[in-house]
Structure 1
Amino acid sequence: MEIDPEVIALRDRFHVPADDHRFRVICADGVDYVAQAEGRPDILFLDGFDNRGLPLALSERAFYDSCRKRLGRAGLLVANLCDNSMAFTVLQHRIAGSFDGRVIGVPAEQYGNRIVFASCDPAFPPPWPVVKQAAADLSCRGSVDYMLKARRIEPALQRWIPR
């Protein structure tokens, strides 16, 4: 979802796919939408920066609790966060509190950000051999080097310790 229709109008420029039965961009306030909307999406992507950074409402534990409730048991939160070490650590701990500790953080391809993956699925995060095999399978299908992407995730998977 995106609060600003002018940003949605730029979707082609940023290679955001067209809406279909599996994917859609919704014009709404993310905090309100996550808390009030019906349905259980498989994935919530969070990239909620404005010209000052991550808005306070998207930094609070209550928001991540709403994400957790909205996703259901096997859903996945994927959050793009600023790589300010102090702020990132606080946010990752808040997200972990909402998702039973099942959180990993990975440096983004562009410096300055980190991607947090969170789920309450008991099988999350998947073990490295499963991720490695999935990446190998996907890499055979196209031009994206999924093995390179998987190697960015590997250190976080190796460090992950269940609560």
Structure 2
Amino acid sequence: MTFSESLEKSLYLTVEDGCKSLRFDSHSIQSAMNLDDPYSLALGYSQTMMGFLLFSPEPKHVLIVGLGGGSLPKYCYRYLPDCKVSTLEINEDVIALRDEFLIPRDNERFTIIQTDAVDYITQGLAEADVIMLDAYDEEGLPAVLATESYYDHCRMALSEQGVLVINLWGTDPKLNIYIERLKRVFNGQVWFCRAFHSYNVIVFASNDENFKINWIKLLFLASRLESQHHVDLQGIVRRLRAGLPYSL
């Protein structure tokens, strides 16, 4: 089964407390935009996903699976000025909302591709330094985006020192299964932590078999990067070191 076969088309826009949100239902927020600062990251899980900077501080190409309200593509586009940002999104109705979320027009550095991400990546069409998996529907994480085979194709699409970043639900009963799959595919080069202000779990998998974490050096790197990025990267380092569980 491909991702397209699991897709539904119920979308809702809401505006509340200075944020415009994209929802699949009345209970959960898929994406949110701060109306006073549209390029900021309004949700804790998206802030935590930017922890890939600790592994790849200066990527040349970031590939994002799942557009939503465009928070991650917009942030990467603005705050990584030397980086190309490509986003895969299967749902034309989501793409049609790009103006609602002030998502830039396509240009030489920013592209939204309407496609099935499973087909796109497994067919070898992707090459990137960072791949961010953040594709959900109202049923949760599509199973086809969490198979060991798909993770392996993502690994093959990464550069030699590339990083795969995945947003997972902390309450998913298969969470440990997904993490074990990633450990097998990436030869144990996998770190994960609780996202800020949520029960999401963010997983980072490095394609560099020689990458070793020095927590002191990583804190210094995080401190330096915070002068360029509006993300608590030092907090992410502490969460990664603590692992799970971690208080909100």
Shorter-chain TM-score range: 0.7 to 0.9
Aligned AA for 1:55? P
Higher strand fraction: Structure 1 or Structure 2? 2
Aligned 8 A contact 1:73 1:119 in 2: no
Residue of structure 2 in register with 1:131 after alignment: 218
- Paired residue secondary structure (1:50): coil
Q: TM-score, normalised by structure 1?
A: 0.80
Aligned AA for 2:205? A
Residue of structure 2 in register with 1:67 after alignment: 154
Pick closer, same or farther for the CA change 1:33–1:88 going to 2, 3 Å. same
Measured in 2, the distance between the counterparts of 1:81 and 1:13 equals: 26
What's the CA shift for 1:10? 3.7
Residue of structure 1 in register with 2:120 after alignment: 33
What's the CA shift for 1:80? 0.3
Alignment pair present for 1:92 and 2:92: no
Alignment pair present for 1:54 and 2:141: yes
What's the CA shift for 1:72? 3.8
Identity rate of aligned residues, in percent? 37
Pick closer, same or farther for the CA change 1:132–1:85 going to 2, 3 Å. same
Residue of structure 1 in register with 2:239 after alignment: 152
What's the CA shift for 1:85? 5.7
- Give the one of 98, 106, 115 matched to 2:202: 115
Greater mean alpha carbon deviation, residues 124-133 or residues 24-33: 124-133
Residue of structure 2 in register with 1:2 after alignment: 89
Aligned 8 A contact 2:186 2:206 in 1: yes
Measured in 2, the distance between the counterparts of 1:11 and 1:135 equals: 31
Higher helix fraction: Structure 1 or Structure 2? 1
Pick closer, same or farther for the CA change 1:131–1:97 going to 2, 3 Å. same
Over aligned residues, Cα RMSD in angstroms? 2.5
Measured in 2, the distance between the counterparts of 1:110 and 1:14 equals: 22
Q: How many residues align?
A: 156
Long gaps (5+) in structure 1: 157-163
Measured in 1, the distance between the counterparts of 2:224 and 2:184 equals: 33
Long gaps (5+) in structure 2: 1-87, 244-248
Aligned 8 A contact 1:39 1:70 in 2: yes
- 1:16-27 to structure 2, matched below 5 A, reads 21=108, 23-27=110-114
Q: TM-score, normalised by structure 2?
A: 0.55
What's the CA shift for 1:147? 2.4
- Paired residue secondary structure (1:74): strand
What's the CA shift for 1:39? 4.8
Which structure has the larger Rg over C-alpha atoms?
2
